[in-house]
């Protein structure tokens, strides 16, 4: 990744922030994106600069397509080109299917799918020039069902389908497109909204523990590198064996009381 130029969306917190830091540790210049709170992205920028790297943070509200397109222009201007786009930005929500509002539905699809689509469209010429990479972040929610996640799962399933098509369409331009679908990865947001210790999630995962943002970040760097040059159009499931397990029991009967989406998705 030395001297590569990378844009990571949704990099103010959690997985996205760690992906940005990992690319920087490997020698890349990084443009970070945040939506509302600058603190996490700003501290990551300072960390990268203290280590001798080059980084800047940019704000964009992904409910507004024009702001996603503006982010593309700002990142390209700062970086001077683009080698890797990591589409990580996303918002989740758990809400019973019968209670979902059109506004909530639109919020998740605008942020998780629409903004990503048009941001990617805006940077494809730069990625074609560098024969670069696009990495889209999906989720095991796209592959397995959980009560209350009909909207979120739909957006993540769309990302997987869109990745396959885009990989084929952009391959003649020398651009590789792949998806990472993480399983349970403990981030600060989980600790804020879950009534139980998120570290206890490991009890239901075959490997015995939940993943970390660093696990996803290291895989993202590998996928973007030359060692993965034959990898294209794939969904890499990073879940400790969760989707390999044939679950039995009545877990599907229970709706989680964790208020995912509160403060961001209307009405949550």
| Nearest Cα to Cα of residue 57 among 89, 85, 32 | 32
Residue 74 lies in a domain: yes
What does the H/E/C string look like for 36-61?
Answer: CCCHHHHHHHHHHHHCCCCEEEEECC
Is 152 among the catalytic positions? Answer: yes
Listed in sequence order, the residues at least 6 apart from 179 whose beta carbon sits closer than 8 Å to its beta carbon are 135, 136, 137, 138, 159, 160, 163, 234, 235, 236
Residue 266 lies in a domain: no
Residue 26 lies in a domain: yes
Residue 178 three-state SS: strand
Residue 260 lies in a domain: no
pLDDT at 207: 87
pLDDT by residue for the chain (268 residues), tens digit each? 899 999 999 999 999 999 999 999 999 999 999 998 889 999 999 999 999 999 999 999 999 999 999 999 999 999 999 999 999 999 998 999 999 999 999 999 999 999 999 999 999 999 999 999 999 999 999 999 888 999 999 999 999 999 999 999 999 999 999 999 999 898 766 555 555 666 667 777 888 888 999 999 999 999 999 999 999 999 999 999 888 887 766 666 676 767 777 777 888 8
pLDDT at 244: 86
Residue 40 lies in a domain: yes
Q: 5 forms bridges with which residues in the sheet?
A: 29
pLDDT at 268: 82
- Count up the domains in the chain and report the number: 1
Residue 158 lies in a domain: yes
Return the ∠ at Cα 57 (arms to 54 and 60), rounded to 5°: 150
Report the distance separating Cα 147 and Cα 193, nearest Å: 17
pLDDT at 194: 58
Domain span at 241: 5-253
pLDDT at 245: 83
pLDDT at 266: 86
Residue 265 lies in a domain: no
**256: Cα within 13 Å, side-chain hemisphere:** 17
Catalytic residue among 109, 152, 162, 264: 152
H or E stretch including 180? strand 176-182
pLDDT at 36: 82
Residue 131 lies in a domain: yes
Q: Give 167-170 contacts, CB < 8 A, sequence gap 24+.
A: 167/232, 167/233, 167/234, 168/233, 170/124, 170/127, 170/128, 170/134
Supply the CATH number for residue 179's domain: 3.40.50.720
């Amino acid at each position: 990744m030395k001297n590569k130029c990378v844009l990571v969306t949704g990099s103010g917190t959690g997985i996205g922030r760690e992906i940005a830091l990992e690319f920087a540790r490997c020698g890349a210049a990084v443009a970070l994106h945040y939506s509302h709170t600058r603190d996490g992205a700003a501290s990551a920028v300072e960390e990268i600069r203290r280590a001798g790297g080059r980084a800047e943070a940019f704000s964009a509200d992904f409910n507004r397509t024009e702001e996603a397109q503006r982010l593309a222009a700002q990142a390209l201007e700062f970086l001077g080109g683009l080698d890797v786009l990591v589409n990580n930005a996303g918002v989740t929500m758990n809400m019973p299917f019968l209670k979902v509002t059109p506004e909530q539905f639109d919020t998740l699809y605008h942020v998780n799918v629409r903004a990503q689509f048009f941001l990617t469209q805006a940077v494809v010429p730069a990625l074609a020039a560098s024969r670069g990479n696009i990495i889209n972040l999906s989720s095991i929610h796209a592959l397995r069902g959980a009560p209350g996640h009909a909207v979120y799962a739909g957006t993540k399933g769309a990302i997987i389908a869109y990745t396959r098509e885009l990989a084929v369409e952009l391959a003649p331009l020398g651009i590789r497109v792949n998806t990472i679908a993480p399983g349970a990865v403990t981030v600060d947001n989980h600790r804020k909204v879950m009534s139980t210790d998120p570290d206890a999630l490991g009890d239901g995962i075959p490997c015995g523990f939940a993943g970390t943002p660093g696990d996803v970040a290291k895989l993202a760097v590998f996928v973007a590198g030359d060692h993965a040059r034959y990898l294209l159009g794939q969904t890499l499931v990073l879940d400790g064996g969760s989707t390999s397990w044939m679950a039995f029991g009545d877990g599907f009967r229970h709706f989680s009381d964790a208020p995912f989406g509160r403060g961001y998705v209307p009405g949550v």
